[in-house]
Amino acid sequence: MTNLDFNGADRQFDLIPDNTIAPLIMHIKPGGQGEGGWLRPSQTSDAMMLECELTVLEGPFARRKIFQYMVVSGGSLNEKGESKAGNITRSNLRAILESARNIRPDDMSPEAAQKRCCPGGYADFNGICFVAKIGIEKGQNGYNDKNKIKTVITPDMEGYAPIQQQAAPAAAAAPPPAWGAPQQAQGQMPPPQSAASNPVPSWAR
């Protein structure tokens, strides 16, 4: 009989505490629908969603994952005939761009407006890094409580620090860049820094 050894399996973890601020990287599992095949249809309504896997990059909860759906269309409609959940997702995606690209929400300059555009569609969010406050969603219908994104932290909010984007997929084997390092000129990666000189927030040290 085969001896099954589970010593190398991941340990069961408690939830990440409510209101924890952490840098995350988001990956989208393609659902085969919509432009580029990024959307996943709901099994219970006409909603179309992004199936997101969010991984903590650094700090005491590094490598922990959060799984979350973001509805982009369908479901309940408002008085204008717009998807209520879709509007919430658009707001969240805008905040993710502002966090990732260091844009203040009140910056309406042409440069900021350009940075809020995604010529690649939803593909531009696959692999994007941003800062967020993590919350806890109460379980329903027999399901356990789970972590969720409570608030995306943008440059105007306490707890924000500029975040570097990960390397392109072809260079994915490289170690993740240090989070919280000061930004260099546009398009340049900052040089390696020692732990003493790297202004990472205290929660991530």
Helices (H), 59-201: 84-100, 110-115
Q: Nearest-CA neighbor of 88 among 99, 77, 79?
A: 77
Q: Using only the alpha carbons of the chain, give its radius of gyration.
A: 19
pTM higher than 0.85: no
Distance CA 127, CA 124 (A): 8
Name which of 36-40, 86-90, 178-182 the model is least confident about: 178-182
Tens-digit pLDDT profile for residues 97-150: 999 999 999 999 999 999 999 999 999 999 999 999 999 999 888 889 999 999
Distance CA 142, CA 199 (A): 43
Tens-digit pLDDT profile for residues 156-205: 999 999 999 987 554 333 444 445 444 443 334 334 333 333 434 433 44
Under 8 Å between Cβ of 40 and 31: yes
Distance CA 50, CA 128 (A): 14
